[in-house]
A and B are shown apart, each in its own frame.
Chain A
Amino acid sequence: MEINPFAKRYHHLRDITRATCTLDAPGAHNEELAIVGGRLAQVVRVKGQSVTLQIFSGTEGLSNDAEVLFLGRYPDMPIGDQLLGRFLNAYAEPLDGLPPVEGQRISLGGPSANPVRRAQPFEPILTGLPGIDLNNTLVGGQKIPFFADPDQPYNEVMATVALRARADKIILGGMGLSYDDYLYYRDTFRQAGVLDRIVAFVNTTQDQPVERLLIPELALAAAEHFAITNNEKVLVLLTDMTLYADALSIVANRMDQIPSKDSMPGSLYSDLARIYEKSLQLPAGGGSITILAVTTLNQGDITHAIPDNTGYITEGQLFLRKDTDTGKIIIDPFRSLSRLKQLVIGKKTREDHPQIMNTAIRLYADAAEARSKKENGFDLTDYDVRAIRFARDYTEQILSIDVNLEMDAILDRLWRILAAHFTREEVSVKEQLIRKYWPD
């Protein structure tokens, strides 16, 4: 790392905790970077002459006479096309054995976009997965996480979506990624022949957790470069945001903050919002940033502070669940939601899309009730039996993540499934749609 010869140097650390150190250093700037005994650190608190630094890689083995250099600059990264095809760590240093990335440096954690300069998202992102395209249509400029238990194939689904989404650039931000998953992404992108439009910033489980906090900033600064300077459609993949939040709680704890729900810092909502709100659609001709994230859950518990705060920030969530009836991994139509789908369904997709989608989910809910009736040992009515049969077809042919269909084919298939099990009255959608699309 380049060091300014005039940088201020100190040699006495007063306090050392597991993640921070404190020293007397008059004139240090808030959030300024420093090097403490060769490790990167950042000013997090100033009190008179005394300055507290957070050391990203931890303080293990750090001596209280270590040299401290204040760098007079803030977290930044090199930017430009030379990032493409590269796999970098949390300091934007190479992981791939290639030379360091050179280029103009821009500072991280920039301000948020002026809401009046944004455009309303308008472009559907089709993935071929009916569980997404039909029920939870994605839109450019959206931010949406997968909510999934750790045993579910969320990284595979996300990679599939990323490759089918026809983005100009894909930026991967891996936080606490297992080394195996890192290699999976690398090999998948390589085999798909898309390395020329990919940048990856990866912190694996081998690295320090606190370093993860830099990953989304790097990924999003790169995304802003491509979307705003080059007017491109950028897709950002962030996995796993639960591990990011865990790192936040570690730092908050070491800063003696009073924890709020689930031991998370009280600022969790704002911290997550700062990341997710970087997604945007610029007015016609401009680029967009779409964020797909992963938030792992503990046994499907979405009331935990991390998924809960995320749900209030993101524009919906995609919920992966194993369907016990068919054994398929499905995109759960109840808990999943794409808030922005209303902007495109029935407008950029076929007119019958909104109503038929909702109707199918309502009938799927009837099937769930019928099934619980069955489990409680009650006799089923004819309607219950039909609803359960419908749910099976719907699960296998629509919700399952192994289906790949074009949009109109999904709608046609859904009409056929509905007509196979229900009467027109039971389906109860606008009559003009029934007349046009009901298969005879």
Chain B
Amino acid sequence: MNTTTKGVVRGITANLLEIRPSGPVRQNEICYVSSDGASLMGEVIKIIGETAYVQIFDTTRGLSEGAEVTFTGERIEVTLGPGMLGKRYDGLQNDLEKFEGVFLQRGQQSAPLDDDSKWGFRPLAKAGDAVRAGDWLGELSENGLPHRVMVPFRWEGSFTVRDIVPEGTYGIHDTIARLEDEQGVVREVTMVQKWPAKQTLTVYREKHRPHKLMETGVRIFDTMYPMLEGGTGFIPGPFGCGKTVMQQALAKQADADVVIVAACGERANEVVEIFTEFPELKDSRTGRPLIDRTIIIANTSSMPVAAREASVYTAMSLAEFYRNMGLRVLLLADSTSRWAQALREMANRLEDLPGPDAFPMDLSATIAQFYSRAGTVTLHNGQQGAVTFIGTVSPAGGNFKEPVTESTRKAARCFYALNQRRADSKRYPAVDPLESYSKYLDYPEFAESLAQSVGSDWITNAKTLQNLLIRGKEAADQINILGDDGVSLENHIDFWRSELIDFVLLQQDAFDEIDQLAPLERQRRMSRLVLEICQMPIPFENYTEVRPYFSKVINTLRQMNYSRWESDEFNNYHQELSRILAEKATEMAV
């Protein structure tokens, strides 16, 4: 390690410094620049001849030529250990709670973990066991989840456990095991290890195609365009179409062990909402406060841009860490466009030749590489873990033909397109049912897994619903072109069938206590009900009868959505629905 390399600042342009180093430096190495008593952190992003270009994760006000620089020899690292759940970090994993005062101060840092915390540790390995990087040595309970203490991921080769502490309470920096490598060198393991954030953690046996549904309680996801554990998806949409509401619904409701929210260049009030509500809300599956399973990486829009770029990598590294404990992690990043913009700002200062819309040329590759860190894996011990990744994209002008949306589309398997017109008419969630897709609907292993859980008709139902929506759209187009009386009665019925699906299944009130979360069983029953109605032959004399009939049906089904599952209220509306349907059916008989 070249820990002795120093340097001197030669040039300053906003947060890009030109530094003359005294010795060897490496690409992406972290350095500290002293300025007025503060120590500003920076990352080497380019080396040209005698000059290292460093982006500073802070403002450079007051810095002058000649300022001293110390290189660390390390890249951006995350600190991994127990106690991260429930924490609120900035993009560089500083614990925001530990900072004093209302305002963030320049150059300030804080420990990611609570250094004097103690945990009840239980060994899983024993003296003499052969182990390697990532193997579980012991476990402790972190907010009710099994937190595994692992052989540090960066240790290469195989080791023999020399000794391991017995069950008991230990501090995070206490030695809990000593391992001997093949050369007989003994190394100590604590509950804490470090990992370079931008490097993919591949300490596992193999990676699979995702196959298991990640239940979200949001109908347009689960019923129509399912997301799988270890899957990838993205939500692009113009502002005001409900991206953030949707992400928060996922953060609250998704069936995952750990949820990591990376607020990347977004509004501070949105993370404050999570800070305020998550300690109050209960996880319906475990009964614990939601905050207990959540980590928030808050690099909001007014925080330094360079740290925004780092924040998504920090979040991903934490996700991979918990995945390697055999847990199912959901990572949400809002918004990846802000991350791309951070890349653009830096490329611009470096005077790199610009690609489309002045984004760097390798944007597509950078995004694809990041999405590829998601997945479901089998660990060396045979256990499985998953990182599911869903990012939002904020396309400029709401136009999907822009570099970030286009690049992400190539990388992600699910596409949840938010549509301005749906949002304008308050049809929320404003996911466009025709443009969106989930490639997982075609995965045979997913079909197999569903057959064993919710039933084999789940996928066929989803596809039937999608076809009905397409027919409805075509009918609506016909009606718009030819007028209400210029089209067949069948067109009107097709249109209203799609409205029925829209109002009852696609639309969902994220702010209604009952409607916001629809468990799978409830989704199955409602979608079967809707499909039954869609397949019923209904005798209409005239197109003017179609709207009042469907309005009544839709209204009753919506009241069911708003009622507690299988409550008297719910059952009453169901009976009323049967009455409405039966009445119409008797008309046919007459």
User: Do the beta carbons of B399 and A27 come within 8 Å of each other?
Assistant: no
Asked if B2 is at the interface of the complex by the 8 Å CB criterion, the answer is no
Q: Which of A402-430 contact B (CB under 8 A)?
A: 425-426, 428, 430
Known contacts A74-B62, A315-B269; decide if A115 and B397 are in contact (CB<8 Å).
no
User: Do the beta carbons of B240 and A381 come within 8 Å of each other?
Assistant: no
CB neighbours of A118 from chain B (8 A): 268-269, 272
A284 to B233, CA, bound (A): 39
Q: Which of B382-399 contact A (CB under 8 A)?
A: 394, 396-399
A266 to B355, CA, bound (A): 13
User: Do the beta carbons of A115 and B551 come within 8 Å of each other?
Assistant: no
Known contacts A30-B12, A48-B65, A261-B396; decide if A269 and B265 are in contact (CB<8 Å).
yes
User: Do the beta carbons of B302 and A258 come within 8 Å of each other?
Assistant: no
User: Do the beta carbons of A117 and B101 come within 8 Å of each other?
Assistant: yes
1/0 per position for A245-273, CB-CB distance to B under 8 A? 00000000000011111000011011001
Which B residue sits closest to A141, measured CB to CB?
A: B269
Q: Which listed residue, B103, B354, B484, B547, touches A378 by the CB 8 Å rule?
A: B484
User: Do the beta carbons of B484 and A381 come within 8 Å of each other?
Assistant: yes
Q: How far is the CB of B482 from chain A (nearest CB, A)?
A: 8
Which A residue sits closest to B482, measured CB to CB?
A: A378
User: Do the beta carbons of B424 and A334 come within 8 Å of each other?
Assistant: yes
User: Do the beta carbons of A113 and B104 come within 8 Å of each other?
Assistant: yes
A134 to B427, CA, bound (A): 18
Q: How far is the CB of A275 from chain B (nearest CB, A)?
A: 8
Q: Which listed residue, B61, B99, B305, B548, touches A114 by the CB 8 Å rule?
A: B99
Known contacts A48-B11, A340-B269; decide if A430 and B303 are in contact (CB<8 Å).
no
1/0 per position for B534-552, CB-CB distance to A under 8 A? 0000000000100110011
CB neighbours of A45 from chain B (8 A): 11-13
Q: Which of B31-68 contact A (CB under 8 A)?
A: 59-66
Q: How far is the CB of A308 from chain B (nearest CB, A)?
A: 5
CB neighbours of A29 from chain B (8 A): 61-64
Q: How far is the CB of A438 from chain B (nearest CB, A)?
A: 14
Asked if B463 is at the interface of the complex by the 8 Å CB criterion, the answer is no
User: Do the beta carbons of B64 and A28 come within 8 Å of each other?
Assistant: yes
Q: What is the size, in residues, of chain A's interface with B at 8 Å between Cβ atoms?
A: 81
CB neighbours of A28 from chain B (8 A): 64-65
A141 to B270, CA, bound (A): 12
User: Do the beta carbons of A308 and B61 come within 8 Å of each other?
Assistant: no
Known contacts A116-B97, A267-B345; decide if A342 and B88 are in contact (CB<8 Å).
no
Q: Which listed residue, A47, A334, A373, touches B483 by the CB 8 Å rule?
A: A373
CB neighbours of B345 from chain A (8 A): 266-267, 270
A115 to B102, CA, bound (A): 9
Known contacts A47-B18, A274-B302, A316-B240; decide if A115 and B64 are in contact (CB<8 Å).
no
The interface stretch among B111-119, B185-193, B553-561 is B553-561
The interface stretch among A93-101, A204-212, A322-330, A354-362 is A354-362
Asked if B276 is at the interface of the complex by the 8 Å CB criterion, the answer is yes
CB neighbours of A142 from chain B (8 A): 269
Known contacts A46-B65, A115-B88, A118-B269; decide if A266 and B358 are in contact (CB<8 Å).
yes
CB neighbours of A113 from chain B (8 A): 102-104, 268
1/0 per position for B63-77, CB-CB distance to A under 8 A? 111100000000000
Asked if A104 is at the interface of the complex by the 8 Å CB criterion, the answer is no
Asked if B485 is at the interface of the complex by the 8 Å CB criterion, the answer is yes
User: Do the beta carbons of B240 and A258 come within 8 Å of each other?
Assistant: no
User: Do the beta carbons of A373 and B271 come within 8 Å of each other?
Assistant: no
Asked if B301 is at the interface of the complex by the 8 Å CB criterion, the answer is yes
Asked if A49 is at the interface of the complex by the 8 Å CB criterion, the answer is yes
User: Do the beta carbons of A430 and B483 come within 8 Å of each other?
Assistant: no
CB neighbours of B554 from chain A (8 A): 428
Asked if A382 is at the interface of the complex by the 8 Å CB criterion, the answer is yes
Asked if B439 is at the interface of the complex by the 8 Å CB criterion, the answer is no
A91 to B568, CA, bound (A): 68
Asked if A111 is at the interface of the complex by the 8 Å CB criterion, the answer is yes
Asked if A84 is at the interface of the complex by the 8 Å CB criterion, the answer is no
Known contacts A269-B265, A426-B551; decide if A257 and B348 are in contact (CB<8 Å).
yes
CB neighbours of A259 from chain B (8 A): 358
Q: Which of B258-277 contact A (CB under 8 A)?
A: 265, 267-269, 271-273, 275-277
Given A28-B64, A260-B344, A340-B269, 8 more A-B residue pairs with CB atoms under 8 Å apart are: A45-B13, A109-B61, A113-B102, A115-B272, A118-B269, A303-B397, A311-B238, A365-B426
Q: Contact residues of A with B, CB < 8 Å?
A: 26-32, 44-49, 74, 109-121, 141-142, 228, 257-261, 266-267, 269-270, 273-274, 277-278, 280, 282, 302-305, 308-309, 311-313, 315-317, 334-335, 337, 339-340, 342-343, 354, 358, 361-362, 365, 373, 376, 378-379, 381-383, 425-426, 428, 430-431
Query: Could you write out 16 A-B pairs with CB less than 8 Å apart?
Result: A31-B62, A44-B13, A46-B64, A109-B61, A111-B105, A120-B276, A261-B358, A266-B358, A267-B345, A269-B265, A269-B341, A277-B302, A311-B238, A311-B240, A335-B240, A425-B555
Closest 9 CB pairs of A and B: A303-B397, A273-B301, A277-B302, A365-B425, A378-B483, A311-B239, A112-B302, A260-B358, A334-B424
Q: Contact residues of B with A, CB < 8 Å?
A: 10-13, 18, 59-66, 88, 96-97, 99, 101-106, 238-240, 244, 265, 267-269, 271-273, 275-277, 298, 300-303, 305, 335, 338, 341, 344-345, 348, 351, 354, 357-358, 394, 396-399, 424-427, 480, 483-486, 511, 544, 547-548, 551-552, 554-555, 558-559, 562
